[in-house]
Structure 1
Amino acid sequence: MTQSCAARVTAAYRRIAETDRPEVWILLRPEEEVLAEATALDARLAAGEPLPLAGVLLAVKDNIDVADLPTTAGCPSFAYHPDSSATAVRRLLDAGAVLLGKTNLDQFATGLVGTRSPYGPVRNALHPEKISGGSSSGSAVAVALGIVDIALGTDTAGSGRVPAALNGIVGIKPTLGLAPTTGVLPAARPYDAVTVFARTLTEAQTAMGVMMGPDKGDPRGRVWPDDVRLAAPARPRIAVPRDEDLAPLSPGGRAAFAAAVKQLEAAGATTAVVDVSPLLEAARLLYDGALVAERYAAVGDFIVDNPSAVDRTVARIIRAAARLPAHALAADQERLDRYRVFAYGLLSDYDALLLPTTTGHPDIAQVLADPVAINSRMGTYTNFVNLLDMAAVAVPAGEADGSPFGVSVITRAFEDQPAIDIAAVFTGEQAPHPLPDGGVGLAVFGAHLTGQPLNHQLTDSGARYAGEVATAASYRLTALGTTPPKPGLVRVAPAAGAAIAGERWILAPGALGRFLAALPAPLSLGRVELDDGSWVLGFQCDPHAAAGGTDITEHGGWRAYLEATGA
């Protein structure tokens, strides 16, 4: 970051004045207050304090708590003053992010249009006559206008994705429970997620990585499984919908989606057409079924007691849930279980599902004239994702009908990083580190190298390529008489050895365990010293077995040996 934190804050407030979008904010902090915090951050950086998000400008949707600032959820009469910040917010601030303020939203996070707020409809960043999308409307527009670097939203039906698509930015909707919802006002508690908007996938992923992690205050929190995949395959298999499943799109939208599919294929993906109509049926359960009772449980009593304080459309939706019998909710939850089995079965042969993020881009006037039907259409391709416990990444993918067009890469739970990797095809980025940020490094020197016959064992395990390496000059390499051919690496005295070229990969601990269990003799796993003095896990060979092979150390690596000998 070339600018100081203070200079970035000054530029942000100048941008706020230039854009003149007061409806974006429910509360904008005084510039002098934020500038003082930024100046203190600059001093901490100068003193050498590690702050991974130092100077990153942040906005927070106003159904997420920030200590000492009111939380309104888009309803002034509902406002309360939290003593502490939501866990996700606190983690970002602790990493050096600078908060500018709280953003507007569809009241009580009920809507996908961005017009259901007493603070005014949030106009689209690029087309002010059109909707911004909701409910995380203000957060998305603050990013799209270049005011902040990242903004937090929430997502139950698509609120962290639809606004991303309509404003031409990135939105990451993680697996439920990975980003804590402690300090977030519920909309539908079992299906709520904290999301991140950014202009780049790298910025969004970095922020999401800071927020994620167990939190004892979150009863629905989850942890990564030991065998989580840390990367998508180099040639991923992508499911795409049938033409009839794209009926809600305009001809321009269909053309834009077809172009997105071709872009994936050009990048090496294999695509196959599947029937996603059961997923679209599941999507309708969120509002048309008994699951809307979750929204009544969150704020229903307040709405009943304060009818004049609430947006009429929001009140009508939530009040109706009071009449739902408990057995209807139980029946719909059972239906969801069946839809979830279908969804995971559908994706068992694929790495991801690609869908349009939303169906079109209506004018604000159109939505105000028909607030329910248009809103329902906006969630056609998003509503089912949280209901069925899936992850999604929304990215820009060109234009349709003069507006930004976006697609979503949708995966099973905990497949967040493969979704990001596939979405990166559209943004041209490469993730600097995987989610989760960790894993175990593994050095390989032979048949598991990229392009070699056993490399698929790594990629099938979700291993992530982490670059070329070389050993310290204390090893010898031997060609073994195996099928397929592979070498053996043996440590020797420094004077008798040489540096051997290889690659470093990162695997989840469980994946590494399975890998080791299947490792054939005479290979074993042990510590290998690299030329920079560090030690990593790597393949080694039993010295007695290596003695029976052909010494190929002079070539400096397995690939060089194959090229030199034509083997």
Structure 2
Amino acid sequence: MANPLHGPSTGPSVAEILASHAGGTGSPTKTAARVADAIAARGDDGTWLSTVPRDQLITAAEAIERRPAARTLPLYGVPFGVKDSIDVEGRPTTLSCPDYAYIATATAPAVQKLLDAGALYVGKTNLDQFATGLNGTRTPHTVPRSVYGSDLISGGSSSGSALAVALGQVPFAVATDTAGSGRVPAALNGVIGFKPSRGLISTVGLVPACKSLDCLSVMAGCIDDVDRVLDIMVGRDDDDPWSRERGPRHRNAAIRVGLPPDSELEFFGDDEMRMAHNAFRAQLRRTHTVVEVSLEPFLAAGTLLYQGPWVAERLVEFGDFLTAHPDSIHPVVREIFEGGRSYTAVDAFAALQKLQQLKAVVGRLWQHMDVLVVPTIGTTFTVDQVLAAPIDCNTKLGHYTHFGNLLDLLGAAIPLGATADGRPCSAMLLGNALSDDTVLQLAAEILDEPRSTHQEATVPLAAQERL
């Protein structure tokens, strides 16, 4: 259907929903009905691939209301969506490829933590097929559009997760981010996309794109919602070989902000985006301690992702399906998968050695800064532009995101409003591994949000059961 919006229209936050449920002005069942009606009113706009039917959603909300000490649950009746590459027991996992679909026999541990905390599962959100793409057009289903209209792409691969939040249907959604899949669609829809340090959130139950780089991420309308959700989802999982403990909380020290020189920023001829970002940089210089940091080693690492052997890692999961069902795969995704066959073990080791050299260079830069700030995207594209030049447009969209997981960084895409011609503008805050809380603190300062930690020492649910 046509999109009448021009920008995000986020709904009530997690805190507001909890207050409504606690105070009696609302309830999980009322919230469930509101969400189901809002989704139905939009029709098939490419946001959701499957949803819990209205009557079943209300029944699930009633079950939450009957749980012991229900109103003390940290996400009591709060609705959320899950990207359709993550398992929820009894629900289809499709990766936007009908011939690949299966019914999950278990729920991903990170999602199960949300359910245990009282959250209400609404459904599975759309994505670029096999989580391969940053634009949202690589799907056999309805191609989603940005809430900014003008036929702008939604971004991907976590297109539906960003839209579900930007449309106000849910306050947060679970996404993934291997090469920018959580940050780019957040930028294109005016919401927050937070990709934590790899390993903080279990990836068990996620169908991997590149298993050594994959990361679950969170879409939300405010930093407080990100904090609340992370406090539930973060936790060590011994079934995930990349799992690790959370880093220290930010301790109110001044945050040193790294900014690349103007000459190193790329906007691909988009003067309005350049002006909007430069205005933000000028404001940041007035409010924070700024140091100049070259972007060159970061960008050099980024070129390794799709111009190097990490493309071949996708064949670990999808190689047999590619061989058996090539016509079931979106043509652009198939082309990318096929390209992975050309790399050798020598190529892989050469790239790993190059990456290690770049990690050493970047590692020294963190001695002088705490957070690196860059644009999330340098420009926007329409659906027609992406369909005409799918690889080129996708590469430009990932210019500032491709290097993140390769260099073991975390990232937050935060909305900055719009350009002079009404398109979304977003900044990305990048931190070294395990500095998540510092990045979130800077994000809150930039967005002028008060911030408090809801669980100073988060105790995993399994540990609570042993107490």
Distance 1:8 1:31 in 2: 11
**Which residue number corresponds to residue 42 of structure 2?**
19
**1:294 maps to amino acid:** E
Distance 2:212 2:122 in 1: 30
Give the secondary structure class of the aligned counterpart of 1:386: coil
1:9 to 28, 32, 46: 32
**Which residue number corresponds to residue 15 of structure 2?**
none
Would you say 1:223 and 2:238 are equivalent positions? no
Written as runs of structure 1 = structure 2, the 5 A alignment for 1:427-442 is 427-433=447-453, 437=457
**Which residue number corresponds to residue 414 of structure 1?**
434
**1:44 maps to amino acid:** R
**Which residue number corresponds to residue 97 of structure 2?**
75
Deviations 1:150-177 (A, max 9, x none): 1111101001100111100011100010
> CA 1:48/1:312 → structure 2, altered by over 3 Å: closer, same or farther?
closer
Please, which moves more after superposition, 148-157 or 121-130?
Answer: 121-130
RMSD value, Cα: 1.7
**1:80 maps to amino acid:** Y
Written as runs of structure 1 = structure 2, the 5 A alignment for 1:152-191 is 152-191=174-213
Could you tell me how far 1:437 is from its partner in structure 2?
3.6
**1:306 maps to amino acid:** H
> CA 1:48/1:310 → structure 2, altered by over 3 Å: closer, same or farther?
closer
**Which structure has more RCO (C-alpha within 8 Å, separation ≥ 6)?**
2
Would you say 1:355 and 2:374 are equivalent positions? yes
Could you tell me how far 1:297 is from its partner in structure 2?
1.3
Distance 1:344 1:325 in 2: 28
Give the secondary structure class of the aligned counterpart of 2:216: strand
Distance 2:51 2:132 in 1: 23
**Which residue number corresponds to residue 107 of structure 2?**
85
Would you say 1:256 and 2:279 are equivalent positions? no
Could you tell me how far 1:205 is from its partner in structure 2?
1.9
Would you say 1:326 and 2:345 are equivalent positions? yes
Give the secondary structure class of the aligned counterpart of 2:175: strand
Would you say 1:120 and 2:142 are equivalent positions? yes
Give the secondary structure class of the aligned counterpart of 2:138: coil
Could you tell me how far 1:48 is from its partner in structure 2?
5.2
Could you tell me how far 1:316 is from its partner in structure 2?
0.5
Distance 2:150 2:324 in 1: 35
Greater fraction of residues in strand: 1
**1:283 maps to amino acid:** G
Q: Is the 8 A contact 1:245 1:276 kept in 2?
A: yes
**Which residue number corresponds to residue 84 of structure 2?**
62
Q: Is the 8 A contact 1:417 1:435 kept in 2?
A: no
Could you tell me how far 1:304 is from its partner in structure 2?
1.9
Distance 2:81 2:410 in 1: 23
Q: Is the 8 A contact 2:258 2:369 kept in 1?
A: yes
**2:308 maps to amino acid:** G
**Which residue number corresponds to residue 242 of structure 1?**
261
Alignment size in residue pairs = 434
Give the TM-score of the pair, scaled to structure 2: 0.90
Distance 1:239 1:265 in 2: 10
**Which residue number corresponds to residue 60 of structure 2?**
37
Distance 2:150 2:317 in 1: 32
**1:4 maps to amino acid:** S
Could you tell me how far 1:398 is from its partner in structure 2?
2.1
**1:417 maps to amino acid:** D
Distance 1:105 1:438 in 2: 31
> CA 1:96/1:48 → structure 2, altered by over 3 Å: closer, same or farther?
closer
Could you tell me how far 1:256 is from its partner in structure 2?
1.7
Could you tell me how far 1:436 is from its partner in structure 2?
6.7
Would you say 1:211 and 2:233 are equivalent positions? yes
Give the secondary structure class of the aligned counterpart of 1:191: coil
Which blocks of at least 5 consecutive residues in structure 1 are unaligned? 440-567
Q: After TM superposition, what 4+ stretches of structure 1 lie above 3 angstroms from structure 2? A: 434-439
**1:97 maps to amino acid:** A
Distance 2:367 2:417 in 1: 29
**Which residue number corresponds to residue 298 of structure 1?**
317
**Which residue number corresponds to residue 358 of structure 2?**
339
Could you tell me how far 1:120 is from its partner in structure 2?
2.5
Give the TM-score of the pair, scaled to structure 1: 0.74
Distance 1:438 1:266 in 2: 35
Could you tell me how far 1:248 is from its partner in structure 2?
2.6
**Which residue number corresponds to residue 542 of structure 1?**
none
Q: Is the 8 A contact 2:80 2:122 kept in 1?
A: yes
**1:229 maps to amino acid:** P
Could you tell me how far 1:259 is from its partner in structure 2?
2.1
Written as runs of structure 1 = structure 2, the 5 A alignment for 1:152-551 is 152-224=174-246, 228-231=247-250, 233-249=252-268, 250-267=270-287, 269-400=288-419, 401-433=421-453, 437=457
Provide the identity percentage.
38
Could you tell me how far 1:344 is from its partner in structure 2?
1.5
Larger radius of gyration: 1
Give the secondary structure class of the aligned counterpart of 2:92: coil
Could you tell me how far 1:19 is from its partner in structure 2?
2.6
Q: Is the 8 A contact 1:114 1:132 kept in 2?
A: yes
Q: Is the 8 A contact 2:45 2:142 kept in 1?
A: no
Give the secondary structure class of the aligned counterpart of 1:348: coil
Give the secondary structure class of the aligned counterpart of 1:354: strand
Distance 2:313 2:215 in 1: 14
> CA 1:351/1:232 → structure 2, altered by over 3 Å: closer, same or farther?
farther
Distance 1:437 1:21 in 2: 42
Q: Is the 8 A contact 1:416 1:435 kept in 2?
A: no
Q: Is the 8 A contact 1:160 1:172 kept in 2?
A: yes
